[in-house]
A and B are shown apart, each in its own frame.
Chain A
Amino acid sequence: MSTESSSTVARVLKPTILILIAIVAISSRLFSIIRFESVIHEFDPWFNYRTTQHLVKNGFYDFWNWFDEKSWYPLGRVVGGTVYPGIMVTSALIHNVLHFFNFPVDIRNVCVFLAPMFSGLTAFSAYLLTKELKDSSAGLLAAAFLGVAPGYISRSVAGSYDNEGIAIFLLVFTFYLWIKAVKTGSAFFGLLTALFYFYMVSAWGGYVFITNLLPLHAFTLLLMGRYSNRLYVSYSTFCAVGTLLSMQIPFVGFQPTRTSEHMAALGVFGLLQLYAFAELVRGYIPPKQFRALLKGGIVAVAVIASIGLTILSFSGVIAPFTGRFYSLYDTGYAKIHIPIIASVSEHQPTAWTSFFFDLQMLIFLFPAGVYLCFKELKDEHVFIILYSVFASYFAGVMVRLMLTLTPVVCVSAAIAYSTLLDTYLETSEHVLASTKPAIAAAATSAPVVIEATTSDSKATGKKTAAKAAAAAAAAAKSADAEAKTHAKSAASSEKKRFPIFNLDSRLLVILQLTWFLFMFAWHCTYVTSGSYSSPSIVLASRQQDGSQMIIDDFREAYYWLRKNTKEDAKVMSWWDYGYQMAGMANVTTLVDNNTWNNTHIATVGKAMSTSEEVSYKVLRQHDVDYVLILFGGVIGYSGDDINKFLWMIRIAEGVYPNDVKETNFFTPRGEYKVDHDATKTMRESLMYKMSYYRFAELYGSGNAVDHVRNARMPAEGPTLSVLEEAYTTENWLVRIYKVKDLDILGRDLKDSTAFDKGRVRKISSLKKK
């Protein structure tokens, strides 16, 4: 192939491949749309969806100041100041643009399909990022990996309208811009980094990762002695402009100057200024005098800095690490002090099996890629190394953070994979030609050679490129560390430079690698289809004869609430369902997934776990009209409220230790039981009564079995006097109860219910004296 035609082919091939990758990425996220329907999944996305609806309907100004009276009744929630507006603004923008061009796309569809669309963009960003690290073929591999990696798909399927959907794209793209800024030293790229950082801050709370990783990178480069003006330009621009922009988001507010999580960025910024100034001064005066000045300067700065920092920390101006981030460091902290954080299943430590589940072969290619970065060890590779180390640690601590690990795993694995392919795909001639003379120079500049030879146009002018690269490499010997590491690996790289001629050995490896790729794609699709495409608002199960049974109880209950209750009905439930209820049932909720007010949640927990008399007071005080619970005992759904009950008790006990005691709910032997052995406190608690009310009647005499806890229930079920059953769904999954008004005659509700059932008071109260 001639030089021109192969480069043309390459130029056409690359965009085509990228588009194909985007199509694959989008399509593999559409399973749940095809199987069920275009609906918003899970819990948090419902709040984002409701907020987006409000934004589209009422405009940006109203959205910025939105005070939501329908959640956290009666406290209300200042949505404008407690939300990351990035995703909503993005969807609203897309919606408005489409409508401007007269495409009447419903906002729901925009929201549902937003994450897949952005996943295509994320794959593209991964391509760009890896291209900066190695070359475009590695970039294409990285894009392909990230497009289908289950670790990322889990949070970006169609319907999962959550912050991570666009945040990961912004994360990878911001990193790409940062690498580009460091490589070129352009203030423009620094500015772009800051702008996309701002976009990221508006989108996700995980922006703190960027806030700390970039300063860490700068600091590491400083320590490695790799200070350069490019670094100064890019980092200073990013830090100054980025911090200023990030404070424009009300939710972030003044945190960048207050909290410990942001201090690293400012610290490195200051350090860099001093270093740059020192470098500047060094350019003017002889070394000896410079050293004298330097010593004086260092002493002065150190004294001022340490005094200042101590004062600020102790006077509380700089807040210590908040609980959420501290629990990343000390995993046992949250369980004791902040049970709400510990109770979220996504915050549990990661089992190692989920690493394989989410990343398959990438997980063992990943360390190889990092090692290759060590071999290259340019500024950008240092970044990847740091990113991978810290992301691995965090992913090990919290399942949810697998998401931030996935991009770097894809990138490193792509580097490793691409290097493998390069070694085995190289045509022999050029390698022979450049081996002998270039070995000495190549030993110290091996990475440069590889870069030059495996650049975009693969088979073009290798000889001339190799010679020019060798010359440039000798001239480009910059820092000490680079030379040292390459001198070390010179011996080993010499070995690696031996060409591999044999077709069969090459074929063996290439075919195996291709087979791995197939397996990877198959695994990803299988995992996506099986595990990550459940909308969790509609459940599907297989009956015994193989037919599929759709369990749509949630929407049934929410729709009932929507149609059968008054406009401002207040519904109490556990906080998990708050967003869904507000979004689908359009009712006022007491607590929801935002969990910002622990006392309010504890009050709901108290109402659920105490006896009817005590909880009735709480219900009346909060004007509750309905109570909603989940009960899985009939169909065996294990995520129901009785299984979450212990968390409710723990949280309530934290605030009301006199009313709720966790130990009262356990049998004397320490078991958590719901059948005959259940303790009195358990049997009298409102949650137990609501769950098992009329449950025994389903099965006839004494045969009631709770399929989740595998317990045989007593033949006589509980009675309710302060609530009456309003609605139970088809599979008994969701149960709604109406709170009774006070008795008109002033009786206890227990007595009036008994009277209504026919029991008449026969004992004279006179005789009681």
Chain B
Amino acid sequence: MRASILLSTLAMALVAQATSLTGLRTLVLLDTLDDVLIYTELWSDLEGRHFNLTLNDVSTPVSLTKYDRRLYDHLIFLAPNMKEYPKGMNAKEVIGFMAEGGNVILAGSSELANPLRELSREFDVEFDNRYTSVLDHFNYDKELGQAKHDTIVVDPSSHMSKIDAIVPQDKLPGPILFRGIGHSVNPKNSLLTPILWAPQEAYSWESVNLDESADQDPLIAGKDISLVSVMQARNNARIAFLGSTDMLSDAFFSASPKKQGDKETVSGNRKFIEELTKWTFQEKSALDVVAVQHHKVGEEEAPAHYRIKDNMTYTISLAEYHEGEWHPFSADDVQLELIMLDPYVRKTLEQLELNDQSTVGTFTTTLQLPDQYGVFKFMVNYKRPGLTYIESVTTVGIHPFRHDQYPRFISQAKPYYTSAASMGVGLLVFSFVYLWGGLDSTVKTTKKA
């Protein structure tokens, strides 16, 4: 999945429009093929972005991988009633598909059956019981939700995450319409992010009879109800969980949501789904490490190993993919760590100035290596919400001083040098005098060679 410079230029050459980094083969699972007519606008949007759609119903056997290679690049579940996976697919396959880099959109509804519920549980996403809906007696849409108060109008400015990398809130023309099942996400899982959640007055309950009152506490209520969540797995495959298949329908795309007492607005669903699918299908907010260089100050090539207290320069180039092209990535918080079991150095990289021809954002720093020798990891660990996880590790050894890299003559040792030299001189003088000094008879003065 990591594209090199070559692949990115190839991608650029292929297509000028928004196009996915993972690929274009999309499998859509529907309850019945009649449902195709519900989402025509969605299909035209996707095909406009060059996706190859394969529309199947759940009774058609299909397999996601063959001989350990993906047959599709993206998977959309629009079949909440699915009681069994199609032949050839199961939960393990779906997760294996994601492990191979495939992206998934999973949309449910109040009729959400077990297979998808259990699949979502592996992601720490817990849908509420079957036949429950998200109900809100204050924020329902006057037109579509009059009867059961189950079609709710959600205001993006206060009920949406502020992560612009996923769905930029200011681009939405209006509120979001939602009719379906709520779910909760495990707050401890750092890979999961709720995108859209219910208003404070909402609650999740069986939508059987409006006259009956709830006799227990609902399992989830208020802001705890997540309507749309996403997860970016550790291998950067993305999955989006939506509680409502209707959110993607033509009806909701073209509706004009109007809350009780408010004026009419334009539905923001189409734009929301467009941005969400762009993110999930790796058409935007995808980063790549283009190059990593490190060398001693004053040199060009990376050495086989460093020496303690060397001065070195580290450079990393990052590019961001959106609108079908790779652009330079800009940030001010990219950090470099020097780790040997524990970090010894942590420094923020400076970005070099961009000009018109830059295709990558270059971050660099110069530092002095610590006084400790060993095998170090130069790690750039950059994980920001919505962006691809960057974990670039370069392992380099730092060696101690060689025996001749110490200062050759130490001034403090002058007395010793002089003494050693004087010993040698004294020896020579003494030998000469002894041998040829003509001393008395106890020494036979025969010449020595």
A residues touching B (Cβ–Cβ < 8 Å)? 64-65, 67, 69, 73-76, 78, 80, 250, 568, 621-623, 742-747, 755-756, 758, 760-762, 764-767, 769
**A307 CA to B233 CA in the complex, in Å?**
72
Q: Kindly identify which residue among A74, A745, A764 contacts B233, using a CB–CB cutoff of 8 Å.
A: A745
Contact A764/B126 with A64-B403, A67-B399, A756-B92 known, Cβ cut-off 8 Å = yes
Q: Determine if B123 is an interface residue (Cβ-Cβ < 8 Å).
A: yes
Listed by A's residue number, 20 A-B pairs whose Cβ atoms lie within 8 Å are: A65-B399, A65-B403, A67-B400, A74-B376, A75-B340, A75-B374, A76-B373, A76-B397, A78-B373, A621-B341, A744-B235, A745-B231, A746-B192, A747-B122, A755-B122, A761-B121, A764-B129, A765-B121, A765-B124, A765-B126
**A747 CA to B123 CA in the complex, in Å?**
8
Q: Kindly identify which residue among B124, B220, B341 contacts A74, using a CB–CB cutoff of 8 Å.
A: B341
Asked if residues A74 and B118 are in contact (CB atoms below 8 Å), the reply is no
Q: Nearest-CB distance from A257 to chain B (Å)?
A: 15
Main secondary structure on A side of the interface with B: loop
User: A764 — nearest CB in chain B belongs to which residue?
Assistant: B126
Q: Nearest-CB distance from A596 to chain B (Å)?
A: 14
Query: Which residues B282-313 have CB closer than 8 A to chain A?
Result: 305
**A568 CA to B397 CA in the complex, in Å?**
12
Q: Please, what's the 1-or-0 string for B390-417, where 1 marks a CB less than 8 Å from any CB in chain A?
A: 0000010101101100000000000000
**A746 CA to B188 CA in the complex, in Å?**
10
Q: Kindly identify which residue among B95, B219, B220, B375 contacts A76, using a CB–CB cutoff of 8 Å.
A: B375
**A76 CA to B399 CA in the complex, in Å?**
9
Q: Kindly identify which residue among A69, A758, A766 contacts B397, using a CB–CB cutoff of 8 Å.
A: A69
Asked if residues B122 and A745 are in contact (CB atoms below 8 Å), the reply is yes
Q: Kindly identify which residue among B122, B126, B231, B403 contacts A80, using a CB–CB cutoff of 8 Å.
A: B403
**A58 CA to B404 CA in the complex, in Å?**
17
Asked if residues A73 and B122 are in contact (CB atoms below 8 Å), the reply is no
**A762 CA to B121 CA in the complex, in Å?**
8
Please report the total number of B residues contacting A with Cβ < 8 Å.
40
Asked if residues A76 and B118 are in contact (CB atoms below 8 Å), the reply is no
User: Which residues on A sit within 8 Å (CB–CB) of B129?
Assistant: 764
**A568 CA to B118 CA in the complex, in Å?**
40
Asked if residues B375 and A69 are in contact (CB atoms below 8 Å), the reply is yes
Asked if residues B126 and A762 are in contact (CB atoms below 8 Å), the reply is no
User: B393 — nearest CB in chain A belongs to which residue?
Assistant: A623
Q: Determine if B99 is an interface residue (Cβ-Cβ < 8 Å).
A: yes
User: Which residues on B sit within 8 Å (CB–CB) of A769?
Assistant: 219
**A75 CA to B374 CA in the complex, in Å?**
5
Contact A767/B219 with A622-B341, A762-B118 known, Cβ cut-off 8 Å = yes
User: B189 — nearest CB in chain A belongs to which residue?
Assistant: A746
Q: Kindly identify which residue among A64, A78, A622, A745 contacts B191, using a CB–CB cutoff of 8 Å.
A: A745
Ranked 8 nearest A-B pairs via Cβ:
A74-B375, A744-B233, A65-B402, A67-B399, A69-B397, A744-B234, A761-B121, A746-B191
User: A75 — nearest CB in chain B belongs to which residue?
Assistant: B374
Q: Please, what's the 1-or-0 string for B362-405, where 1 marks a CB less than 8 Å from any CB in chain A?
A: 00000000000111110000000000000000010101101100
Q: Nearest-CB distance from B124 to chain A (Å)?
A: 7
Q: Kindly identify which residue among B219, B340, B375 contacts A766, using a CB–CB cutoff of 8 Å.
A: B219
Asked if residues B373 and A766 are in contact (CB atoms below 8 Å), the reply is no
Q: Determine if B186 is an interface residue (Cβ-Cβ < 8 Å).
A: yes
**A699 CA to B123 CA in the complex, in Å?**
39
Contact A760/B118 with A74-B340, A75-B374 known, Cβ cut-off 8 Å = yes
Q: Nearest-CB distance from B179 to chain A (Å)?
A: 21
User: Which residues on B sit within 8 Å (CB–CB) of A623?
Assistant: 377
Asked if residues A67 and B341 are in contact (CB atoms below 8 Å), the reply is no
**A623 CA to B118 CA in the complex, in Å?**
33
Q: Nearest-CB distance from B342 to chain A (Å)?
A: 9
User: Which residues on A sit within 8 Å (CB–CB) of B191?
Assistant: 745-746
Q: Nearest-CB distance from B176 to chain A (Å)?
A: 23
Asked if residues B233 and A766 are in contact (CB atoms below 8 Å), the reply is no
User: B91 — nearest CB in chain A belongs to which residue?
Assistant: A760
Asked if residues B341 and A742 are in contact (CB atoms below 8 Å), the reply is no
